[in-house]
Structures are given as structure tokens and as C-alpha cells.
Amino acid sequence: MRKLALILAAAFFLSSCGLNTASTKEHTEVESNITIYPAEADFRRGKLSSLPAYNPDSTDGWQVDLRGYDLSSLNLEDRLYDLQYADFDSKTVWPETLPKEFNPDNIMEIGKSPGLNIDKLHKEGITGKGIGIAIIDQALLVDHIEYKDNLKLYEEIHWPNSEAQMHGPAVASIAVGKTIGVAPDADLYYIAEQHGEFKNNSFEWDFIWLAKSIERILEVNETLPEGRKIRVISISVGWDESRKGYKEVAAAVEEAKKQGIFVVSSSLFETYGYFFHGLGKNPINDPNEASSYEPGSWWAKSFYNLGLDRVKEINNVDDMLLVPMDSRTTASPTGKDDYVFYRQGGWSWSIPYIAGIYALACQVKPDVNPDIFWTEALRTGKTITIEKNNAKYEFGKIVSPQDLIYILRNK
């Protein structure tokens, strides 16, 4: 299952810690270095003649993809079931005839919350201020209102397109977005990179480019003042020994680890021995309540058929940390104040979430390291009981950011 997760995260990628709050230490300002401005994406796809139906047995994560479509001529009063699984964005044009139980504006707003009471940490000033988060991903719409004030660096390494992609704005806003993000005051250093190239109608992997991107982040970090260093890198893809460039990227990660930077990726188990999985959620359920969550949509069937112990056994792990993944609103590449709601996510959305929490941890405990962070995240995680199909399932450990940060602050 872990290899499947790596593949899914990679496919999703292609589809489209300084101030202690008790301290008075001031931060040296870091100038921004942005010389490339990818163009807005155009997802307008015209009028939709009929609404796609959702098939719960399908593995397709884009079954009811309404991004950029004009649905104004449709009568959707009796299509609540299918709409509950829809992806849509600021450019989606809705008809007057919608089910009364389906409110896209409300769903979009609920999806903006990072959830799990992270907003309460923000109100206490725990926002990642002074901490650098680096992201290596697809091309970014650098002027989006969610993160433009956080962005300190944008570069491209082996990136072939001039247009912003769906993936970059999403991961950046999940990590540092001012209304969406886990760490809304963290500094963002971003490199757009494609780990391979398309040849003969297929994609040929080459992680040498990812290795070069990590090395570039380490170079940048050397120039940053104390108190504003990069403490975590978010990479929403995984690699294994079968891929070209594996040795190079593995060596780059090891060097980052030596320099005190936590590299969060789909290969987290291989690089650190930590295992995580993504959480699902009904779009209208309260994102701050642990009881609102369940297994992520793409692995829920395995959980309900096998149970959590069996899922762990298959993945050869003793424990795993569960973090939000599905039903998230993120920044959209289609405009600087556009948003998009993704009903089904992937590990790609969980990875910047973890990076954001680590930035919060670095703010309250500057000497934190990945082992301390992960141990306490598991220890403070919540376990809930899910009732489904006339059965009860124990489900945890769901990350509890408040409990984790309070423990680390006083450790």
C-alpha cells in the first residue's frame, strides 16, 4: 500500500524553526527574490451538457470535476449525491436550480479552514513567524493573495511551462496561506521543478533535478540570517531505487538532514522511518472536530474491509500519523484571488500540512528536531470511534496541533 501511495502522490503531482513565543528576539527582514512570473492558468471549459455521475467503486479521483465549467443551463435539483463529490472553483458557473442542501459558497468557505483548531494557535501568535518553509513543486502563481506576502524566493529548475499549474498554488496555500495555511506567517522559498520529462507519450523519471533543487535550497539557506532559516522542505512526491536519480536525491536529503532541515515527502518512511496517512471528511462537517474525519477517500475501502491494524501490517509500520487531506479549499492558478475546492485530495495535500505544523513547532521550540516532533505528534494524537456498516472502528492517531504545540512549548 505504501508503494501505491507513492505512485498516487506522484501521479497527482503530475496531473494537472526561529522564534520562541516566550522570547523577545527580533527577526532580521529577508528581501524577496522573484524574477519569474508564470501566467495565470485558463481552466474555462465552456458549457457542460450534463453532470457526471459519481461511482463509489471507481478509482478515478476526478469523476465530478466541475472546475471552469458553465453549468447554468442544467437543472441539478435532484443531483445532491453526485454534487457532494464535486471539485469546483471560482470560475465554475452554477445554475439557479441546485439542491437546497448543496451550497457551493458554504462548502468553499468551510474548506478554507486548516482545521483541528489550528486557528486557536494562530490567535495566540503561533503562526510560523520567522520560520522558513521551502517547497519544491510545479509552477506557482506567485501573486496569489494567499501567499504573495510570504514568498521570499521563486525559481525554476528544469521546468518546461510558462503557465502556473494547479498543484503549486495548492501546496503553497496549505502550508503558508494567510486564510488557508497552517503557518500563515512563515517565509516561503519555492522552486518549480519537473523530475523528468515527457518522451514518446510517456513520462521518464529523473530525480537528479529534484536533487539539484534541494541543493539549491541548501545554498539559499546558507545566506539567510539566524532566526530566519529554512527548517523544513515540502516535496509532494516520492522516489525509490528503481528511478533514475535516486542516489542523487537520497544524498541531497541526507545533506539537508545534516543541516537541520526536515524533508517531508511521500518517501518519509524511507528517509525517516515515519509513516503518515491522509484524512477524509464530508465537505460540510466541522473541520475543527476530530470526529468529523475518517480515512481518506482513496484508502477508505481498505480500512473498512481490513481494519486499521491490517492496514498498518501491510505497510509494515507500528504507528502512523493521520493528517487532513480531502475536502480542502486551496489557492487556484486561475487568478490571484481565485480559489478551488478539491473533494478528494492525495498525500500531496497532507505533506505541506505536516510541513506547516513543523514550522509552528520550530517557532515555539527552536531546538526541535524531526524525531522529537514526530514522537510527540503520535503521543498527543487523538483516537476516535467510527460507526459504519453496523460496526465500530477505532481510528487514530489524528494529529492534534494544539496538544502537540503546547507539549513542545513546555518541553
pLDDT in tens, 11-33: 444 444 333 333 334 456 787 88
Mean predicted confidence (pLDDT) in 62-83: 96
Q: What is the mean pLDDT of the chain?
A: 92
Residue 363 has pLDDT above 50, yes or no: yes
Look at the pTM and tell me if it is higher than 0.85: yes
Residue 261 has pLDDT above 70, yes or no: yes
State the pairing for strand pair 132-137/262-265.
unpaired
Residue 65 has pLDDT above 60, yes or no: yes
Least confident of 1-15, 226-240, 265-279: 1-15
pLDDT at 14: 43
The 3-state DSSP class for residue 118 equals helix
Residue 347 in contact with residue 389, Cβ under 8 Å?
A: no
Domains of the chain, start order:
2-40+111-409 (3.40.50.200)
Residue 194 in contact with residue 165, Cβ under 8 Å?
A: no
Mean predicted confidence (pLDDT) in 193-204: 90
pLDDT at 12: 45
- The separation between the first and the last C-alpha atoms of the chain, rounded to the nearest angstrom, is 35
pLDDT at 44: 84
Alpha helices of 290-346 — where are they, by DSSP H? 300-306, 308-315
The rounded distance, in Å, linking the Cα atoms of 301 and 108 is 26
CA dihedral 345, 347, 352, 358 (to 10 degrees): 130
Provide CB contacts within 8 A for 370, sequence distance 6+.
Answer: 262, 272, 274, 358
